[in-house]
């Protein structure tokens, strides 16, 4: 396990796997002991939190995902300088914020606070309460948390106006008391929110590209071998007669019609008319227009069916299905036929939502992509998307693992928080909570989009939460919420999303190089034909 050239724990991935297995075994033993010893519940809860890391074992089993994670890990090492710069700016503005706003974010809340000027006036009335803002600058840790919310630019305006209204320690806020403090918040947003964080993103993208170039050397060799095989196949096909030499006159006529550019233009016109007729639908249409659009739907479906039949006759099933765009055409034709059948059938026979039928019809718009493929620039973009899909899929799986782990942690940490009149929530509610895994997953997706995530974190920062082992409601673990949300926001909003951008940029650059390379290949190919004195009339 520990010693030798092939020892188990000499690999970092095996260390992770073995650690998770050991944690799972300890968790199982703790679960058996906890029934007889309630004091061990706190230790058991720690191992339950660590148990949520089990999905990380998937990384070692998926080669593509493992390559992405290795690239991310290797690209994070060179960005230590930019991380140090970010931390320096945060600490400087945090210390400055503590000096300016410590103890001044308190406010009085009650039925009659018009004449309240300080804490003494507030507490003179038993109905009033002297409260502190969740995001404040009382110490450096709280200041850094507030500045992180400012840097994410979600809810930063409320923190800024609270700072402008602050008067002093134990003083009731006054609206726009010190407007010059606006410079502090604007300077932080400009320096950190725009320049430093975007520089951090740029460094991540740059180092990701550099690491990918080192890891793609082997892939480049495989691609060159694949291209050599393709050129060898083309060379062998040059000496073979074209596939339609044995066609009959009628089938040859259909082949000439299908492969002509005028046929493609005609189908393009039909697709355009189909999109226009589909865009003419609106709520409460007159019966005449509904009937006319229905007839048009039948006509366009018949045209697409005829097109597919002609291509099948001209090219054969093998050549026709070999092209991915033709596969899309056949799929759309099948969906159109199924949609018409379901639309004509009575709803009590097959209870299907009519929205599904309309979605099948809207799938025809995807054929517009085939027309856009004719343009050189758009073709490069489409090729970029198609080439980047496998790697983006691996990143999507990494996203899913991140959401899965944090959703499981969220259910364990915040699953028993309640929103009531005593504990009013600004982010958590009916459509955002951690009571079950599904809603926790959706809530984290909302956090990843940056929609009121600071309100959700604010609701988890409770001073009066119950930490007892047998807690039923309003249960939380103090001090964990900022770490939970800050790590998730950093990984979801700043790292992984920008890595997706880096992948698309890399493949876009490669697609442009590939277009130029293909042009040179065509030139060399025809030079080879001329040099070999090969009759290439069959290219017509």
Instruction: Write out the DSSP string of 404-415.
Output: HHHHHHHHHHHT
Residue 539 has a pLDDT of 42
Question: How much of the chain, in percent, has pLDDT values that exceed 70?
Answer: 73
pLDDT at 397 over 80: yes
For the residues 268-294, what does the mean pLDDT come to?
Answer: 86
Confidence band of 515 (pLDDT split at 50, 70, 90): low
Residue 413 has pLDDT above 90, yes or no: no
Judge whether 103 and 169 are in contact, CB under 8 Å: yes
Residue 231: pLDDT over 70: yes
Between residues 248 and 404, which one has the greater pLDDT?
404
| Cβ count within 10 A of residue 15 | 12
Residue 458 has pLDDT above 90, yes or no: no
Query: For residue 278, what pLDDT band results from cuts at 50, 70 and 90?
Result: confident
The H or E element containing residue 106 is strand 106-109
Distance separating alpha carbons of residues 193 and 153, to the nearest angstrom = 7
Which pair of structure tokens corresponds to residue 322?
Answer: 């070999």
Mean pLDDT for 198-218 is 69
DSSP 420: S
Cα–Cα distance for residue pair 523/507, rounded to 1 Å:
24
Confidence of residue 297 (pLDDT cuts 50, 70, 90): confident
pLDDT at position 344: 74
Give the pLDDT confidence score for residue 516 in this predicted structure.
58
pLDDT in tens, 318-349: 888 887 778 878 888 888 888 778 777 755 55
Helix 41-51 / helix 376-414 crossing angle, nearest 10 deg: 170
Q: State residue 534's pLDDT score.
A: 47
Q: What is the pLDDT of residue 34?
A: 64
Residue 123: predicted pLDDT:
86
Residue with the bigger pLDDT between 260 and 502: it is: 260
Q: Is 299 exposed, middle or buried (0-12, 13-18, 19+ CB in 10 A)?
A: middle
Nearest residue to 410 (alpha-carbon basis) of 56, 51, 49, 24: 49
This prediction's pTM: 0.72
DSSP bridge pairs for 130 = 108
Question: Average pLDDT for residues 491-505, to the nearest whole number?
Answer: 76
Which residue shows structure tokens 């040059």?
238
pLDDT above 50: residue 453: yes
Q: Give me the percent of the chain exceeding a pLDDT of 90.
A: 10
Residue with tokens 């027309």: 371
pLDDT of residue 538: 42
Give the pLDDT score at 499.
75
What is the average per-residue pLDDT within 362-375?
Answer: 62
Model confidence over 163-191: pLDDT tens digits? 999 998 888 899 888 889 899 999 998 88
Burial of residue 77 (number of CB atoms within 10 Å: 0-12, 13-18, 19+):
exposed
92's enclosing H/E stretch is: helix 80-101
Determine phi and psi for 432, rounding to 5 degrees. Answer: -155, 105
Tell me the average pLDDT across 483-490. 88
28-85 confidence digits (pLDDT tens): 777 777 665 555 555 556 666 677 777 777 777 777 677 777 777 776 666 777 778 8
pLDDT of 197 above 60: yes
| Residue 9 pLDDT | 80
pLDDT, residue 247, reads 75
76-78-81 Cα angle (round to 5): 105
16 token code pair: 């992770």
pLDDT at 532 > cutoff 60: no
- Contact at 8 Å (CB) between 339 and 362? no
By DSSP bridging, strand 129-132 and strand 106-109 are: antiparallel
The CB density around residue 157, as the number of other CB atoms within 10 Å, is 11
93 has a pLDDT exceeding 90: yes
pLDDT at 415 over 80: yes
Mean pLDDT of the chain: 77
Interhelix angle 287-322/249-258, rounded to 10 degrees, is 110
**Does pLDDT of 404 surpass 60?**
yes
Please check the confidence at residue 522 and state whether its pLDDT lies above 60. Answer: no
How far apart (Å, rounded) are the C-alpha atoms in residues 196 and 82?
A: 8
């Amino acid at each position: 396990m520990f010693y030798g050239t092939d020892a188990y724990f000499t690999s970092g991935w095996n260390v992770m796997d073995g650690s998770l297995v050991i944690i799972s075994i300890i968790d199982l033993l703790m679960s058996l002991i906890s029934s007889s010893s309630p004091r061990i519940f706190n230790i058991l809860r720690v191992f339950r939190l660590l148990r949520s890391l089990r999905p990380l074992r998937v990384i070692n089993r998926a080669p593509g995902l493992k390559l992405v994670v290795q690239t991310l890990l290797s690209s994070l090492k060179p960005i230590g300088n930019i991380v140090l710069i970010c931390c320096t700016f945060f600490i400087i503005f945090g210390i400055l914020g503590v000096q300016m706003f410590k103890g001044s974010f308190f406010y009085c809340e009650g039925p009659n606070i018009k004449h309240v000027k300080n804490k003494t006036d507030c507490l003179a009335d038993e109905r009033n309460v002297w409260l502190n803002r969740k995001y404040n600058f009382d110490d450096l840790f709280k200041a850094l948390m507030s500045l992180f919310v400012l840097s994410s630019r979600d809810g930063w305006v409320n923190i800024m106006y609270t700072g402008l209204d602050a008067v002093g320690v134990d003083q009731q806020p006054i609206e726009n008391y010190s407007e010059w403090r606006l410079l502090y918040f604007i300077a932080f947003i400009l320096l950190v929110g725009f320049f430093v964080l975007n520089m951090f993103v740029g460094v991540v993208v740059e180092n990701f590209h550099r690491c990918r170039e080192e890891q793609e050397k082997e892939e480049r060799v495989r691609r060159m071998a694949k291209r050599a095989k393709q050129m060898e196949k083309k060379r062998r096909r040059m000496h073979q007669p074209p596939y339609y030499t044995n066609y009959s006159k009628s089938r040859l006529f259909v082949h000439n019609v299908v492969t002509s550019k005028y046929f493609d233009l005609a189908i393009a016109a039909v697709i355009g008319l189909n999109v226009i007729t589909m865009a003419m639908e609106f709520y409460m249409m007159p019966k005449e227009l509904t009937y006319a659009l229905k007839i048009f739907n039948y006509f366009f479906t018949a045209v697409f069916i005829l097109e597919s039949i002609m291509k099948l006759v001209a090219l054969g099933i093998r050549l026709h299905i070999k092209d991915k765009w033709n596969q899309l055409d056949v799929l759309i034709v099948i969906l159109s036929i199924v949609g018409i059948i379901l639309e004509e059938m009575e709803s009590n026979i097959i209870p299907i939502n009519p929205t599904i039928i309309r979605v099948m019809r809207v799938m025809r718009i995807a054929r517009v992509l085939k027309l856009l493929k004719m343009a050189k620039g758009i073709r490069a973009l489409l090729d970029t998307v198609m080439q980047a899909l496998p790697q983006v899929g691996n990143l999507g799986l990494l996203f899913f693992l991140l959401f899965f782990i944090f959703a499981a942690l969220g259910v364990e940490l915040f699953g028993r928080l309640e929103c009531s009149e005593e504990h009013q929530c600004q982010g958590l509610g009916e459509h955002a909570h951690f009571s079950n895994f599904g809603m926790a997953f959706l809530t984290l997706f909302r956090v990843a989009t940056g929609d009121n995530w600071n309100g959700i974190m604010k609701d988890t920062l409770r001073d009066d939460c119950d930490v007892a082992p047998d807690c039923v409601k309003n249960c939380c673990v103090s001090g964990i919420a900022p770490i939970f949300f800050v790590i998730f926001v950093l990984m979801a909003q700043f790292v992984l999303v920008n890595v997706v951008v880096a992948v698309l940029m890399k493949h876009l650059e490669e697609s442009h190089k590939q277009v130029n390379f293909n042009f040179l290949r065509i030139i060399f190919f025809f030079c080879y034909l001329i040099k070999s004195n090969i009759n290439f009339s069959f290219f017509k």
